Amino acid sequence: MDAPTYLIKSRSGEVLIQGTAEQVAGWVKEQRVSDKDQFQRQGWLLYEMDDAWSVIESFPELYGPSGWVRLKVLRRRNYLILGAAFLVALIGLILISASQLMPAYDASRRIAVSKASEDAANVRSLEAKSAQVKAEQVAKAAAEAAGLDREKTKSAEVRLEVEISKTRDAQSQVTKLEKRLDEIKKTMPIAVRWRESLINSNQVLVVSSSSVRPVKLLVSIYDANGVQTTEQYPLNLEPVGANGSTKESGLGESVKHYFKKGESAEFTDVDATKDFRYNPRKYVSP
């Protein structure tokens, strides 16, 4: 038996080409024909009706299982899709019924919630008003207290300023007194007088102590121009009233010097046993 031949018809009904199964399979791979073109097999007994034209799916030797088997598969898939659509429609119907039954419950629940919210809002409003009244009362009391405190503070500041002024005056007086006492304390306790020498026309220095304790001094001689000379003499005076509390200058004395007019003697405290020193003093010869 010769191999069957396959005729390929265009959409206009004309036979375009014919060939064996191997040739047609090659044309399909090369996309010279498509699965939409019409085919007819000649040379073998047709599976369906004589002279039947069909798409390539109807020829298993060219394109897998027959078209009838594929149609059954498609029909089964359509049934499944139809069943799924019915199930979705049933679920939708149930949801619509539920949505028709729920509004009354939802409305009553919303009314109850709204009423509760309104009551809560009223309570909060009353609490806010009460808090505002209390805050105003507290603010008023605080303002009054602040006014009293300001008056008291101002009065206290005035009194404090007066006391500070008094304290400053007292401190100033104390400072002046302390300074004066320090000056008195450090004033050298001696009395100085001059007399004319019996042996020349110069002056004799007479020094007397007014202290109750011994006084140790250093006498420095200055010329008439106020320039210090090299003459310096120690002078120790006994306490007032004791022998040696008064001493003179001249030959045979502690201060071996007769003073000419304008010369001066400076007394410096050299007693290191005290915790202070007398301020130096200078006396000019007449």
- The pLDDT tens digits of the residues spanning 190-201 come to 999 999 999 999
Report yes or no on 131 lying in a domain: no
CATH number assigned to the domain comprising residue 40: 3.30.1490.40
Q: Is residue 250 part of a domain?
A: yes
Contact between 231 and 221 under an 8 Å Cβ cutoff? The reply is yes
Show which of 64, 81, 113 is a domain's final residue.
Answer: 64
Last residue of one domain, picked from the residues 16, 49, 64: 64
Q: Return the exposure string of 79-95: e unless at least 16 CB atoms fall within 10 Å of the residue's CB, then b.
A: eeeeeeeeeeeeeeeee
Domain that holds residue 55: 5-64
The sign one gets for the Cα dihedral 92, 97, 103, 105 is: negative
Q: Is residue 90 part of a domain?
A: no
Q: Give how many domains the chain has, as a whole number.
A: 2
Residue in this structure with the two tokens 């420095």, named with its chain if needed: 220
Domain contains 242: yes
Residues of the chain below pLDDT 50 = 47-50, 66-68, 70-71
CA distance 105 to 214: 123
Q: What is the CATH number of the domain that holds 240?
A: 2.60.40
Q: What are the phi and psi torsion angles at 142 (to 5°)?
A: -65, -40
The pLDDT score that the predictor gives to residue 271 is: 94
Could you tell me if residue 176 is inside a domain? no
pLDDT at 2: 65
Taking the C-alpha atoms of residue 1 and residue 13, their distance in angstroms, rounded to an integer, is: 29
225, part of any domain: yes
Final residue of a domain: which of 22, 42, 64? 64
φ and ψ of 282, to 5 deg: -125, 140
Q: Is residue 207 part of a domain?
A: yes
For residue 145, being part of any structural domain is answered with no
